[in-house]
Amino acid sequence: NAGVMQNPRHLVRRRGQEARLRCSPMKGHSHVYWYRQLPEEGLKFMVYLQKENIIDESGMPKERFSAEFPKEGPSILRIQQVVRGDSAAYFCASSPYLAGNTGELFFGEGSRLTVL
């Protein structure tokens, strides 16, 4: 069974470019979370999605950031016009969401974004 797959694992962008991070959840999982982690810091919630539906995006900046989880294909976290402060590790996690209980989250290995 493949785990949560994130790519790219490492991404370098110059200020003003776009970063596109992809996450394929575990098979059978219908819910995806995105978290951001700065070096030596905790996991900051960004967005929580179900296929074709954003459940909660309260942690995501309103400008430059967007997320989707289409019916087919991976979840995408898109950061437009990146700035140095966007440099971080971005973790995706998926869950099966059974019986109204999120259950455990399965994390991918993360995408580490560096903005020059």
Partner 1 sequence: GQQVMQIPQYQHVQEGEDFTTYCNSSTTLSNIQWYKQRPGGHPVFLIQLVKSGEVKKQKRLTFQFGEAKKNSSLHITATQTTDVGTYFCAGPVIGGNEKLTFGTGTRLTIIP
- Which parts of this chain interact with partner 1 (CB under 8 A)? 33, 35, 42-45, 48, 55-56, 58, 91, 93, 97, 100-110
Q: Which is nearer to partner 1, 85 or 101 (CB)?
A: 101
Kindly state the smallest distance separating residue 63's Cβ from partner 1, in Å.
19
CA–CA gap between residue 107 and residue 37 (Å, rounded) = 13
Shortest Å, Cβ 86 to partner 1 = 19
Q: Which is nearer to partner 1, 15 or 44 (CB)?
A: 44
CB 106, CB 93: distance < 8 Å: yes
Tokens representing 23 are 């996450």
